[in-house]
Structures are given as structure tokens and as C-alpha cells.
Amino acid sequence: MAATVPRHAAPSARDGDGILRAALRHSAGRTLALAAVTTASTGAALLLPAVLGHTLDLLLARRGDTGRWLLLSCALICVPAVLDALDELLTATTTARTTAWLRHRALGDILAAGPRATARIRAGDLVTRLVGNTAHAATAPATLAGTAAAVAGPLGGIVALGVIDPWLAAAFLAGAPLLALLLRAFARASTDALTAYQRLQGDIAGRLLEALRGARTIAAAGTAGRERERILRPLPDLSRHGHRVWHVQGRSTAQAATLVPLLQITVLAVAGLQLSRGRLSVGDLLAASRYAALATGVGMLVGHLNALVHSRTAARRLAEVRALPPVRHGTRRLPADGFGTLRLRGVRAERGGRAVLRGVDLDLPGGTTLAVVGRSGSGKSVLAELAGRLADPDDGEITLDGVPLRDLTREQLRRAVGYAFARPAPLGGTVGGTIAFGSFTPSPAAVRAAARAACADDFLRKLPAGYATACADAPLSGGESQRLGLARAFAHAGRLLILDDATSSLDSVTERRVAEALLADVAAPTRLIVAHRPATAARADRVAWLEEGRVRAVGPHAALWRERAYREVFGE
């Protein structure tokens, strides 16, 4: 039965907002506490002008009950300082916890997507999103909590002006539409500039990571200067968008710096006129001046708005990570009497919009060894990926002992299939842990037996702490790294063992010893080996010869060797 990989639409701004809402729910308790603290601080700031104004009027009138009003004024001055310190603490802890949660979730999305994650988003860009974008998005809960208070301050100031004298509020509100237009223009321009800026950051990170991976090739080719130019090619555009961000923010700040004093002067002028008419007291004038300053707190609003724009653009990039299609697993188990029979029917696979495998039909009977050979680009490694479900075919079906790989549980699949690669990654902390690294942990005896089969036991025991040596303290050659990877595959192989160019760095003698151990000492009865050497293909029961994504022939190596085109695959 054919199966087609679903296509996924690009995430929208709504998807990014969904991530921010999830982060807000995750930090709901701390966010509410932070909102309570900032609101209390704003409330104290709103009470202070009225209390100071009333105290001033009492002092000017030389009344004797000014003592308690002076104490209340001092309290309202000191309390915000304490609340601001608590605000800083809650903001830092809320942002840190939210960052950790977002990174944990994004990392889970990347790992759930498997190897195809880097086919959709470059590895360097993934790192940028996982590190930088999560940090920006994580500021949203604290920023929203502070924004509520930042809005309450100006609104409370306007209301207080209206309580003192309706003309004061009217004078301020006459210029309010200009403030609203200023904020709207700032949000729109900042979003566009930041989106482009963060995209270019990811592009540069991707290019840099590619260069680091190929550092030896670049050094050998003497192309360091050319590579540096390639990495930094997007830098002028990055600089342009960065300057645009600062220009937008600077222009908005400058406009606010012009508009805010004008509004304050207008309010004070009206208050002075009312004072001269005897409708306001000196204390009311003092309170009006401070409430005008609170009402024009647009600078704080611009700062909060800028932070929210950063969070939204970062969250949208995280939404693209969230949208990576995860590998779905079924609920079926392998039959107990299975022997590792692998079948591919009508398998098609695309990479970068190009068909790499086309209608591949292949049988690998249980208990046999199949070597896969072909020229570079013929689809050998892609076939190895699909055979153990590191990726899914775009069409067709692959079964192991009669069960489609898609229908197997994750545990069944990973216990049944062992993998070794050309460049294995040391992920276990120690060299022994690297061999044991997997969905289940083999016993120490099994780890050592796998190392012996991979011809790795001798050099591992000579390390400073033997199998307990940290990977960072065990500089290994290419051949030693491959033997370590082979040992890991041998320790975890159940029914099917897949070697994807996993012996390319071994010398001929070591490769022969490993091949002999593979047949005699490794439990997996069925083996699929991507082969580049005639000797490796000769040891297999059968050879599958790939050409331009199709199976050209299947048969014993000796029979295929009679064809000149087959010999040319190995450079013979």
C-alpha cells in the first residue's frame, strides 16, 4: 500500500502567538504575581501625587495634622522602591524558567522530527532559533505583566487629571490620537524589520556551521578568504535591517520626546489658568504636573511594545520549528518468530525537490547480508535511512518481518534495528557510554563483547580510564571513531543491522576482522551494508546495484563483477 508524506503549510503569525500563549500559561503563577507587584507599584505611583498635593496644601494652610500625611508621603515614596526590587527578581526568574521551557519544547520538536529537521531548516539556523529566539520569546510573560501596569499608569493619570479638573483631562486627550498613531506605526515598522533581521541571523549561522564542518576541506583548498566572504555575504543586509530597527525605535523615541513635553506643557498651562481663577489649589497644580507626567508615559509603553514585537517575531520562528512534522509511530509489535526479513515495495524518496529513489522494489531475506553499491548520488545512503526508518519514503512501503515500519512502536523499531554511520557521534559522555547509548542499555559484558567484535576493545582499554574515559578526553582517529560506532551498532542490533559506509576509514586488515566478527559474533541475523569496496561487496550474500535511484540488478558480487559497468562503480 502506498503512503504519501503530508505537506505542511508555513506557520502564520497566529501560530507564533499560540506559542506565546502557551508560554504564558506555563508561567501563569509567576506572571500573575509579577502583574500584582507591578500593579501595586503603579497604584502607589498614582496615589503619591494626590497625597503630596494634599500635604502641600496642609503645609501652606499651617494646619497641625500634617504629620500623618508626611508619613504617608514617605511610605508611598519607599514602597515602590521595594516593589521594583521584587519586580526585577520576578522578571528574571520568570524569563529564565520560560526560556528553559521553550528550549526544552523546541529541542523535543527537533528530535521528534528526526534527521529531516535539518532538511527543512539549516542546522545553524536551528541553533539560532533554539538559543536566541527562545530567549526573546521567553520575555513575553514578564513583558505582558509589565505592560498591564504600563497602560494602567497613563490611564490612571488621565482619570486623575479628570478628577482634579475635567479641562485638564480634555487638554491631554486632545493630543492622545497622535500618541496612538505613533505606537501603531512603531509596532508595524518594527515587526517587518525584526522579522528580516532574525531571518538573516539564522542564514549567517547556517553558513558558519557549514564552514566549521568543512574546516579541514577549506584549509586544504586554501579558500578561507572566499569562504569568509560567503559567510558574511548577508551581513550588509543584516546591517541595513539592524539600522532600520534602531532608526524606527529612535524616530519613535524622538517623536515621543517632542510630543510628550508639549502635552505636559499644555496640561500645566490649563492648570495654571485654573489656578489663577481660583478653581485649583497649589497642591492640585503639583498633583496635576505629576499626573501629566504619568499620563505621558509613552516612553515606557514604547519599550514594552518593542519587547513584545521582539517576542512575537521570535515566536513565529519557533512556530516553524514547532511545525516540523514529527515521526509518527504505530502500536504494532514484531512477530516473535521473525528473522529480520526486509521488503521495499514501490519506494520513492525526494531530497531537495529531486527524486533520489524511484520505484525501488527490494527483498532482503532474514538471515542474509545485502551489500548496496552504486555511484555517488545513486541513493545508497537514502535507502539505508529508509530501511531503518530514520526517514519515511515519499511513496511506497517498507516492512520488517511483514509489519510496515510505520506501524511499529518506537521501542520495537529501535530494538530491532541497529545503525552504524561513516561519522558516528560520541553521545554517551564516556566511550563506554557511547557504546551503550540507545533506547535500551546493554550490560557491561555486552558492551565489551560488542567492542571486541568491532576491534575496538584493545585501544579502549588503553585509554586513561578505560571504558569510563570521557569522550572529550579520548581523541580518536577516524578509524577508531568508526570502530566505536560499529560497537554501538553491534550492541543494539536486534533483527536488522544497517551499516552506512561505516567501515570506510578502516584499513583492509581491520575491515576483514570486523566482517568476520559481524558474521560470527553479532546477534543481528540480517544485515544491509552500504559498500564502497569490492571486498565488502564480495563478503555479502547478495548485492543490490543502484543506478540513478533505481535497482539496476541484484545478485552475487561474483556474477555482477563480470559486467564492466559494475566494475566501474568501484573504479576498476
> Smallest Cα–Cα separation from 371: which of 560, 565, 568?
560
pLDDT band at 100 (very low <50, low <70, confident <90, very high): very high
- How much is the pLDDT for 7? 44
Rounded Cα–Cα distance for residues 380 and 372 (Å)? 6
In the numeric block, the cell 534495528 is attached to 417
What are the residue ranges of CATH 1.20.1560.10 in the chain? 13-322
Query: What's the mean per-residue pLDDT of the chain?
Result: 84
Q: Which fold has domain 13-322?
A: ABC transporter transmembrane region fold (1.20.1560)
pLDDT band at 2 (very low <50, low <70, confident <90, very high): very low
* Cα distances (angstroms) measured from residue 80 to each of 42, 46, 48, 75, 208: 8, 11, 10, 9, 47
pLDDT band at 3 (very low <50, low <70, confident <90, very high): very low
Burial class (CB in 10 A: 0-12, 13-18, 19+), 536: buried
Rounded Cα–Cα distance for residues 414 and 440 (Å)? 9
If phi over 0 gives left and psi between -120 and 50 gives alpha, with beta otherwise, what is residue 329? beta
Cell, residue 523: 546477534
pLDDT over threshold 60, residue 8: no
What are the residue ranges of CATH 3.40.50.300 in the chain? 342-569
CATH H superfamily, domain 342-569: P-loop containing nucleotide triphosphate hydrolases (3.40.50.300)
Rounded Cα–Cα distance for residues 281 and 283 (Å)? 5
**Where is pLDDT greater, at 495 or 6?**
495
- Print the SS3 string covering 518-568: HHHCCCCCEEEEECCCHHHHHHCCEEEEEECCEEEEEECHHHHCCCHHHHH
| Residues contacting residue 229 through CB under 8 Å, at least 6 positions apart | none
DSSP state of 325: P
Helix axes 235-276, 166-173, angle to 10 degrees: 150
- How much is the pLDDT for 572? 63
pTM of this structure = 0.70
Cell, residue 559: 556474477
pLDDT tens digits, one per residue of 187-216: 666 667 777 787 787 788 878 777 776 666
Rounded Cα–Cα distance for residues 480 and 424 (Å)? 10
Specify the amino acid at residue 469.
T
pLDDT band at 319 (very low <50, low <70, confident <90, very high): very high
- How much is the pLDDT for 305? 74
> Smallest Cα–Cα separation from 500: which of 352, 326, 322, 374?
374
DSSP 24-38: HHHTHHHHHHHHHHH
Rounded Cα–Cα distance for residues 37 and 86 (Å)? 7
| Residues contacting residue 443 through CB under 8 Å, at least 6 positions apart | none
Specify the amino acid at residue 536.
T
Count other C-beta atoms under 10 Å from residue 452's C-beta.
16
User: In degrees, to the nearest 5, what angle opens at C-alpha 306 toward C-alphas 301 and 307?
Assistant: 100
Rounded Cα–Cα distance for residues 69 and 139 (Å)? 39
Cell, residue 256: 515621543
Strand partners, 554: 544
Q: HSE of 250 in the Cβ direction (CA atoms, 13 Å)?
A: 6
pLDDT band at 93 (very low <50, low <70, confident <90, very high): very high
pLDDT tens digits, one per residue of 146-195: 887 777 888 888 888 888 888 888 887 777 677 667 666 666 666 677 77
pLDDT tens digits, one per residue of 244-284: 877 776 766 666 666 667 777 888 888 888 888 888 888 88
Overall average pLDDT of the 124-151 stretch:
87
**Where is pLDDT greater, at 188 or 239?**
239
Overall average pLDDT of the 286-294 stretch:
83
* Cα distances (angstroms) measured from residue 127 to each of 106, 202, 317: 10, 8, 12
Cell, residue 346: 514501490
Q: Using alpha carbons only, how large is the chain's radius of gyration in Å?
A: 34
Phi, psi (rounded to 5 degrees) for 408: -80, 150
Rounded Cα–Cα distance for residues 370 and 365 (Å)? 9
Overall average pLDDT of the 296-319 stretch:
78
pLDDT tens digits, one per residue of 392-430: 899 999 999 999 999 999 889 988 898 888 888 887 788
Helix (H/G/I), strand (E/B), else coil: 172: helix
- The strands making up 542-547's β-sheet, listed across from edge to edge, are 417-421, 496-500, 526-530, 369-374, 542-547, 550-555
DSSP 38-78: HHHHHHHHHHHHHHHHHHHHHHHHT-TT-HHHHHHHHHHHH
pLDDT band at 4 (very low <50, low <70, confident <90, very high): very low
pLDDT tens digits, one per residue of 358-374: 999 999 999 999 999 99
Q: What percent of the chain has pLDDT over 70?
A: 89
Rounded Cα–Cα distance for residues 515 and 529 (Å)? 11
